[in-house]
Every structure is written in structure tokens, then in C-alpha cells.
Amino acid sequence: MALVKFTYDPENPPKIPQADLDRMDAVKDEDIDYSDFAPFTDEEWANAKFIKLPQKPVVTMRVDAETVAFFKGEDPKGYTGRMAAVLKAYARAQRAG
């Protein structure tokens, strides 16, 4: 199965095929593994809100192989996010200075 990436818009949720809904409905609650996160409290649920995150523009730039290799390091997953964080810190430092 191919990985599909999209941005969730609560005002326009994606259409879920009926076959997928039926498959999810067939799963019993006791068969769901919740061990990897702590349960929410009633207060947390009462204060829960959907927050629409600002859209990030897509940018294409040429970066030398040595720089890309540095940011990929031992974990190539998320290297563009690390690069963006460094650029953001630099921009903030320039504005503050």
C-alpha cells in the first residue's frame, strides 16, 4: 500500500470508503492496543479544540551534498525539518540583532 500524505481540513474532511468504515467498525474495543499513550482526562477532552495550522509554502533549493549529508546524519527521516529549524533560528537571530 502506498503512503498518502495530506493536510487535514476539519471544514472539509476526506471521504472514507464504506469498506474501510465497515472494517474499522468490526474491530472490538478490547482488541485495540492503547499502551503507547496515556489516557486523556475529562478536563483535557472538555478543552480540546481543532486548530488549523498555517500552511507552509513548498520551497525548492539546491544544497550541496555535504550539507545534506550533515542534516541527514544518522537519521535521514526529518532532515528537511531540521534544516528548516536552523534557517528559522538564523532568521530570528538576524531580526533580533
Exposure on the CB side of residue 16, measured as CA atoms within 13 A: 9
Whether 93 shows a pLDDT value over 90: the answer reads yes
Q: Is residue 1 part of a domain?
A: no
Q: Is the pLDDT of residue 20 over 90?
A: yes
Mean pLDDT of the chain: 89
Q: Assess if residue 12 is contained within a domain.
A: no
Model pLDDT for residues 35-76, shown as the tens digit of each residue: 888 888 999 999 988 888 888 899 999 999 999 999 999 888
Residue 11 in any domain: the answer is: no
3-state helix, strand, coil in the chain (%, to 5): 45, 0, 55
Return d(Cα 66, Cα 14) in angstroms, integer. 40
Domain presence at residue 79: yes
Is pTM beyond 0.75? Reply is no
* Cα–Cα distance, 22 to 85 (Å, whole number): 41
Instruction: Please give the single-letter amino acid code of residue 2.
Output: A
Residue 90 domain boundaries: 18-96
Q: How much is the pLDDT for 1?
A: 63
Alpha helices (H) in 1-97, listed in sequence order? 18-25, 42-46, 65-72, 79-96
Question: How many folded domains does the chain comprise?
Answer: 1
Would residue 57 count as lying in a domain? yes
